[in-house]
Structure formats: C-alpha cells, structure tokens
Amino acid sequence: MLLQGTVVADAETVVEDGAVVVEGNEIVAVGDREELVETYPDRERKEYDLLAPGVVGGHVHSVQSLGRGIADDTSLLDWLFDYVLPMEAGLDAEGMRIAAELGYLELLESGVTTAIDHLSVRHADEAFEAAGELGVRARMGKVLMDTESPDGLLEDTQAGLDETERLIREYHDTRGGRIQYAVTPRFAVSCTEECLRGCRELADAYDGVRIHTHASENRDEVATVEERTGRRNIHWLDEVGLTGEDVVLAHCIWTDESEREVLAETGTHVTYCPSSNMKLASGIAPVMDYAERGINVALGNDGPPCNNTLDPFTEMRQASLLQKVEHLDPTTTPAELVFEMATRNGAKAAGFEDVGRLRPGWKADVVGLTTDLTRATPLHDVFSHLVFSAHGDDVEFTMVDGNVVYEDGELRTGDADAIRRRAREYDLPIAAD
C-alpha cells in the first residue's frame, strides 16, 4: 500500500507532498510522493492530509471503559475504593470483554495504535482476546492485589502470581509480537512485599516481559507506603525490584531528589497523565525535570473514569499547557517534545524498538488525519496543529502492524455499533450518584 500526504515521520521530520510505502507489517519507504509513486507504481494508493506515526497510549485502563462518568469530582482514594474498584470487582467476564472492546475501539478510532494497558484482577483473558481481535498493539497485563483491597479483587499472593504466569505463557509475544505481557501490580499500597518481589521474578523468568504499575500519584499513597515500609515509594519499589529499563511507572508526581536519581540511574520509564492528574487533583508531574535527567517520559490518558476521554490529541495539548502554567514559562514543553512523548517515547516504554516513527524497516503503525477543518485553517505548523488543535475525530485512517483497522469512520476488525450497543445495555454493578 502507498499512503500519500504530508508525512510527519517523527518529531523532527516533515515531508510535504510525501508518501509512506507499506509491505506486510513493515514500512519499506518514506519520502517524496512522486519518486515513490514511480518506484512503486502498482501499489494500492490512499491519500490523507497528514500521515503520522500511530500514537502510543503510555498508560490506560481499557477495562474501566464502562465507568466513564461514575465518579467525577472525587478524591483519588475515594474515587478508587468507593467507585472504580467496586466496579471492577463486579464485572463478570462478559462485562470485562465489553469494556475492553469499547476501550480499544475508542483508542483505534482516535489514532492510538499501541497501548500500555493496566487490566483488572480477574478475566484478563477477555482483554487479551479483544486486543488480539480488534488489532491494537499492546503491552498489557492482569492486575495483582493481595492486601488492602476490596472483596472481589483481593487475591491470595501465590494465586495472583500463578495466574500471571499462566497468562504470560498463553499471551506473551503472540499475534506476531503485537501482544506483549506486562506484570501489573496495582500499586505498592495494595501489594505485599512478597507479591512485588514475585512480580520481578516473573518478569526476569520470561524474555521480553515487562513490569507496569502506578507510583507516587498521590500524597496519601506515598505516606501509606512510607508508614508501612519506612521508605519513600520509589526507594521501596527499587528495593523490591520494581525499577529498571523494563519498568514503566505511571504518574511519579510526588518524588523527591533522591527518588528522581533512582529513576534516572535505573532507566525506569515514567508515564505522564496530565488530564487524570488534573481531574483527580493529584498534582503536576515534574516531567521536564525528568526529561533533563534523561528519564524517558511517555504520555497516557489513564482510564475513562478519570479523564474522561481516551483522545490522545487532547492529552498532548494538556501535557504542554499544564507544564507551561506550572513553570509560568510559555516556552517549556514545546509541541515537538510532546509529540515525541506521545509516539516514540511511549513505544520505548512499551518495549517496541521499531515503533513510534515512520521510517523504513519499522513497523507499519500509521494514522491518517484530515486537516480540512476550520480549526486547521490556515495550517502554519503541523506539530502545532497536532498538539494544540487536533482531535481524535480528525483521524480517518488507522493502520496497526500493516493492517487497516479503522477507515472512513468504520472499524474494520469488528462491529463498532454492536460494541457500543452491548456497552449501553450492560448492567454495570455500580452506577453514578
């Protein structure tokens, strides 16, 4: 296939009147449209105003998708323990499947091609099957919770680790490598030391498995961990093996100097979730400080109950604006940097080495967007447009691993109307107040 348009190949490279040629699941050429049409004359051609790498959602909860709007305007720990965890505890296998499909549908139709997905304690198979079938690229895993957790989610330590190992054997590195496993403890508050150390052992035992958890999102969380362990949260995670180049920590808002040094020294990845952090009034992650220290910062929407949208373009906008107001500096966190966070940095965190840029030999994860819009007129700068004014609705074409998964308003890998209908009809175990 030959895709034509203005090609935003990465955060530094734009090819006007360009093209991307895809063979199988790989990009084979990126460059001038006329030259590539001449070199590849027989390819099926499609044209979009902008072609860009698929966006990487660096932290998402697809299986919370049925809970959008059930817990607005509440504090993090109330939000979690009074609403979101009871909802997760009450979802049966069918509910988990519907929620996951709804989440992946929203991601794919708004231009996200890769997700780092934090599932729930039970019925993880449903999400793995849904991701496999709908075609998203994912680093995902079942959640572990073996202390300080509500009924329906609290699990025996060994049972959680055993179930994780079963899922690794069943789903890790499947669908041609598109689906990868992340061992996913919820957070240090709801996991024992034995559980956290067990997570590290499992990640080490299976080649390519990573670890994904929440860390230092909230001051109460940090205080609880410190009371229990005598350590700052990141020091505790480091002690039990949950830092390193194969670890992605969502949030990392409340970290001190010594914790930041640990994150940098160990090569731990951090996912910045500005909308969720604003909505739950959690705080502002020091992501520019992290970036200056060489810490890889990805960008994530978090879950539908705390955002309440999985639109990655809105998230890019928030990512920049929040840092500008934090630093009272309009020059900080420019559009190109945010675009890099949302694409290549996310792919690095997810452990996909050839994803997040449009270049020959890399995976064919490509989105096509329209700019035939009032708010894109005139279009002076594509990065400015993508970060500050584009919406997920502008996406007209989504390709993952060389497969067209969304095109012209239609999901190609499933029945979007049926997914939305089943989500509306499902009897959610908890309702909004």
Q: Which residues bind Zn ion (CB under 5 A)?
A: 302
Residue among 60 and 367 whose Cβ is closer to Zn ion: 60
Contact 27, 361 (CB under 8 A): yes
Residue among 302 and 401 whose Cβ is closer to Zn ion: 302
Nearest residue by C-beta to Zn ion?
Answer: 302
Q: What is the largest CA-CA distance in the chain?
A: 67
As measured in angstroms, the least distance from the Cβ of 211 to Zn ion is 14
* Residue located via tokens 């689906």: 179
The residues that bridge with 14 in the sheet, in sequence order, are 8
As measured in angstroms, the least distance from the Cβ of 276 to Zn ion is 7
As measured in angstroms, the least distance from the Cβ of 166 to Zn ion is 24
- What the block records as the tokens of 137 is 């690229």
Residue among 117 and 302 whose Cβ is closer to Zn ion: 302
As measured in angstroms, the least distance from the Cβ of 87 to Zn ion is 14
DSSP 388: I
Residue among 192 and 218 whose Cβ is closer to Zn ion: 218
CA–CA separation, 299 and 118 (whole Å): 14
Size of the chain in residues: 433
- What the block records as the tokens of 113 is 């091609």
DSSP notation for 139-188: EEE-EE--SS--TTT---HHHHHHHHHHHHHHHTTBGGGTEEEEEEE--G
As measured in angstroms, the least distance from the Cβ of 186 to Zn ion is 9
Residue among 167 and 273 whose Cβ is closer to Zn ion: 273
- What the block records as the tokens of 312 is 């990655």
φ and ψ of 356, to 5 deg: 110, -5
As measured in angstroms, the least distance from the Cβ of 187 to Zn ion is 9
Rounded to 10°, the helix 157-171/124-134 angle is: 20
CA–CA separation, 213 and 58 (whole Å): 11
- The 3-state secondary structure of 241-309, one letter per residue: CCCCCCEEEEECCCCCHHHHHHHHHHCCEEEECHHHHHHCCCCCCCHHHHHHCCCCEEECCECHHHCCC
- What the block records as the tokens of 380 is 């002076």
Residue among 302 and 394 whose Cβ is closer to Zn ion: 302
As measured in angstroms, the least distance from the Cβ of 88 to Zn ion is 12
Residue among 186 and 363 whose Cβ is closer to Zn ion: 186
Residue among 79 and 313 whose Cβ is closer to Zn ion: 79
As measured in angstroms, the least distance from the Cβ of 311 to Zn ion is 17
Contact 283, 83 (CB under 8 A): no
As measured in angstroms, the least distance from the Cβ of 303 to Zn ion is 6
CA–CA separation, 279 and 287 (whole Å): 18
Residue among 49 and 302 whose Cβ is closer to Zn ion: 302
